[in-house]
Chains A and B, each alone.
Chain A
Amino acid sequence: MSSQLARSVRCLVCCCAVGLSPLACSNDDRQPNTVAGEKLAAAQPAPNVSLKASTAKMAPTPGTVLRETELKDKPFVDAKTLKKLAAQTAVAILDRQGGWLHVNAGGQVGWVRLLHVSTQPPGRSGSAQEIESAAKIATGRAGSGNIVATSGIRGLNEEQLKNAKPAPEELKKLESYGVSPEQAKDYARKHKLEARKIDYPPEPR
């Protein structure tokens, strides 16, 4: 299973790297949560259909508690505390809803603050099962994006950036995609996004 996953990911990434559509890959495994564009597209409704629920059942992802926190029975600060979780407690992340993660902590299921948990790369805890599930980060809707482990793909590097030659045609294209404030406001209205007055947090000491 995990080698299949790796294959599909490698395929996808090469396609991205050369600018081809991932659809060109022969991608026959059935991993539900790869970054493959076609799966992302298939899993999402048409762009103008508003999807309000951002909860969905995901394959569990291993996480670690960053600081002592409370396991709550609901995703609210004033919800009932089921138990305290010490820093470094291992949890399985089942789902996300806004600022809360639905987790399984040693057999007990509940909600913890997203900011109190981190994930970690696969490999720290060896089994194939875990490696596979670590690649699927629970973040909301099923079938949505992930960053999947890979190797041998060159990313952007300093040398490349330093030697970059300008692409004036591309810049022209970028300029042409500009959206006016009115167009942006129309979009916000259509999707019920209301501007709110919120202060920045103070600079920490």
Chain B
Amino acid sequence: MTTPTRRLRILGLLFVALLAQSAAGDSLRDRIAGKISDDKRLLISVTPEDEIKIGKQVSANLLGVAPLVKDDGLQRYVNTVGRWVALQSERPDLPWRFGVIESADVNAFAAPGGYILITRGLYASLSEEAELAGVLGHEITHVVERHHIELLRKGTLIEEGRKALEKRMNDDKDETLRRLVGSGAELFARGLDKGAEFEADRRGVVLAARAGYSPYGLPAVLQKIASVAKSDDRVQLLFKTHPLPEERLRALANSMGTQYDRYDRPGAGGTLYPLR
């Protein structure tokens, strides 16, 4: 929600800065440019192509920890459902890729540019295609809203980014991006802010409903996750990086109300591809 207005504001500032350059020489330009913080310049500089590069990089790293489940049929299936849901989003033309990875953890990961990985543990907990659509809808929203790019702008990674920017004249852009993203797949260990997670829930249910599924698939998955002991190893990372499921259910109850009941179509869609 905030991104377009912020971008406009930044563009406005840039415009002012350019005017200033022609009108009043270097010193004024420098003062105005100083108001544009480094992190905002960073946001401007991350193009969709950069997002895809970052996505490839962190996905390759995550796959180094948890490789793809060896089942072409399963992988094609999640790509089909995922692509259909992603087509309902505001960024249908990204090179969307979806995968199920070998991990007993209950989690799913969205990398910039449209790379989405869901664990075997989470896939095994699903009982219908609408639930898969809801989970993927949540992750697709992270990509569409560039939540991880925002994360890179803020937080502790920004220091690294600033250093990278300073060196930018001498570095190629790929190197800059690599520095920005940090080591390995740590991007996924940090977690987004709660607001981004609630937004992904809110919009994820709508993306699934736009795709013709029940909007209640994602809430049903959250309800299952609520039954897992907080101390269970397989939800440690999820609970560390996300609000607790009860909290997410409450937030969804507030934002959804009864307005989406008319889109409820229990059992709509194909059959969940069985795990081997």
Contact = CB atoms under 8 A, between A and B. Distances in A.
Nearest to B128: A140
B183 A162 contact: yes
Interface residues of B, number: 114
A154 to B, nearest CB: 5
A170 B254 CA distance: 40
A28 interface: no
B146 to A, nearest CB: 16
A196 interface: yes
A192 B265 CA distance: 11
Contact of A179 (B83, B115, B120, B265): B83
B156 interface: no
B161 interface: no
B128 A114 contact: no
B103 interface: yes
Interface string A93-131: 000111100000000000001111111111100000000
B16 to A, nearest CB: 29
Contacts of B120: 16
Range of interface residues on chain A?
35 or more
Contact of B211 (A16, A188, A201): A188
Interface in A81-100: 96-99
B64 A167 contact: yes
Contacts of B56: 171
Contacts of B150: none
Interface string B100-127: 0011111100000001000111011111
A67 B269 CA distance: 31
A39 B154 CA distance: 45
Contacts of A118: 223, 226, 245-246, 249
B3 interface: no
Contacts of B273: 47
B210 interface: yes
B126 A144 contact: yes
A26 interface: no
Contacts of B60: 166-168, 170-171
Contacts of A199: 206
Interface of B: 1, 56-57, 59-70, 72, 75-77, 79-84, 87-88, 92, 95-99, 102-107, 115, 119-121, 123-128, 131, 182-186, 188-189, 198-199, 202-203, 206, 209-216, 219-220, 223-230, 232-237, 245-246, 249-256, 258-261, 263-276
29 contacts: A19-B69, A41-B274, A44-B274, A47-B274, A114-B223, A118-B226, A119-B223, A122-B227, A135-B227, A137-B227, A145-B126, A146-B224, A150-B234, A161-B65, A162-B185, A167-B64, A170-B64, A171-B59, A174-B75, A177-B72, A178-B79, A178-B96, A180-B83, A184-B84, A187-B84, A196-B263, A198-B263, A200-B206, A201-B259
Given A161-B61, A174-B97, A175-B97, 19 more contacts: A16-B121, A37-B124, A52-B268, A53-B266, A116-B253, A120-B226, A146-B224, A153-B104, A155-B236, A161-B186, A162-B185, A164-B184, A166-B63, A167-B60, A171-B56, A177-B98, A181-B87, A183-B83, A204-B254
